[in-house]
Amino acid sequence: MRSNSARRWLIRGRVQGVGFRYFAQKSAASLGLSGYTRNLDDGRVEVYAVGPEEKLSEMAGLLHTGPRWAEVRGVEEQEVSVQQYGSFRIEP
């Protein structure tokens, strides 16, 4: 069995108030990823996901586009340590 990796993305642009966290949750669930997403005080959205490398790459592609009303102006991606989550959730 291949081990999981983890990624953290910081997405900037018009990404709060446009359903971005719900989009991230739905996308992650469809890819079988666990982790979380949340709004940051500076207007960005943070996404942390754990799963197979190829699924994380798919997730990255989706985050660069975002939901219909979003306007993604930048995505910072970091390789981070793996933490265990039972599902993918939206944090307040």
Per-residue confidence band for 3, with pLDDT thresholds at 50, 70 and 90? confident
pTM of the complete model beyond 0.85 = yes
| pLDDT recorded at residue 2 | 66
> Is 54 within the bounds of a domain?
yes
> Is 90 within the bounds of a domain?
no
Report how many domains make up the chain.
1
Phi, psi angles (nearest 5°) of residue 81: -70, 150
Residue-range definition of the domain harbouring residue 21: 5-84
Are the C-beta atoms of 37 and 11 separated by less than 8 Å? no
> Is 46 within the bounds of a domain?
yes
Which residue in 4, 38, 39, 89 is the catalytic one? 39
Q: How far apart are CA 19 and CA 38, in angstroms?
A: 11
**The CATH number of the domain where 48 resides is what?**
3.30.70.100
Residue 4 annotated to the active site? no
Which residue in 14, 21, 38, 73 is the catalytic one? 21
Residue 21 annotated to the active site? yes
Q: What pLDDT, in 10s, does the model give residues 16-29?
A: 999 999 999 999 99
Query: Residue 6 contacts by C-beta under 8 Å, 6 or more apart in sequence?
Result: 35, 48, 49, 50, 56, 79, 80, 81, 82, 83
Q: What pLDDT, in 10s, does the model give residues 22-67?
A: 999 999 999 999 999 999 999 999 999 999 999 999 999 999 999 9
> Is 92 within the bounds of a domain?
no
